[in-house]
Amino acid sequence: MSLKACIFDLDGVIVDTAKYHYLAWKKLTVMLNIHFNEKDNERLKGVSRMASLDIILEIGRVTLDEKKKDEYAAMKNEWYLDYIRRMTPDEILPGSLELISELKNAGIKVALGSASKNTPLILERLGIEKLFDAVADGNVVSKAKPDPEVFNEAAKMVGVAPEDCVVFEDALAGVEAALNAGMFCIGIGSEKILTDAHYVVSGLDKINLRKLRKIMK
């Protein structure tokens, strides 16, 4: 492969929104009388809003009809937005801007591949809405990770073949999605958890273009 594009997941890679998702889901679970803790929240990383609600209902052994589920998902999102609207650029995770600008200077395309329907608002709050060459998010794709749709769409948008793309992902479902797309995957987080990734670093501040090229050899 030749490195032509890098596709970044948003939540957990560029910014830590997991804590806000947790607080909003927690509010809902308190209301529904479901025991839900931070460990359970790990299962929701990279998973779409509705699939997250299904996991929570399964934890609480609660069954709801579709209408109620839509209502609760909307409620959770309103609480989540209360946090997101207050985000500032200093919440961009260390190393993100440095790596992205290094890649762009080297002529490598940078794209975003996220399940979140709130991607446009988050990028705006962080002041990076113009940073990426392409944005594939929950508003343009319908199949959730581990389906490769979101990464394939991002690759298509920047006009690069999947085998020439590298994905940066913090979630298990996201790593699987990258592999399903036939892309090289750098896991962001713990080696013990992201066992299928080609290589794992703790954050984007631990990698640069030279290191990336070495890993991919």
Residues that bind Mg ion (CB under 5 A): 9, 11-12, 46, 170-171
Active-site annotation holds for 9: yes
Q: Which of 3, 8, 48, 201 binds ligand G6P (CB under 6 A)?
A: 48
Minimal CB distance residue for Mg ion: 12
By CB under 6 A, how many residues form the interface with ligand G6P?
A: 18
Cβ(140)–Cβ(100) below 8 Å: no
Kindly state whether residue 29 participates in binding ligand G6P, applying the rule CB under 6 A.
no
Distances (CA, A) of 50 to 60, 111, 169, 177: 15, 25, 20, 18
**Geometric angle at alpha carbon 158, from 153 and 161, rounded to 5°:** 75
Write out the two tokens for 95. Answer: 């190393």
In the chain, the DSSP E strands lie at 5-8, 109-113, 134-136, 165-169, 184-188, 199-201
Write out the two tokens for 15. Answer: 């910014």
Could you tell me the smallest distance in angstroms from the CB atom of residue 89 to Mg ion? 19
Kindly state whether residue 49 participates in binding ligand G6P, applying the rule CB under 6 A.
yes
Q: Pick the closer one to Mg ion by CB: 34 or 183.
A: 183
Contact set with ligand G6P (CB under 6 A): 11-12, 21, 44-49, 52, 77, 114-118, 138, 171
Catalytic residues: 9, 11
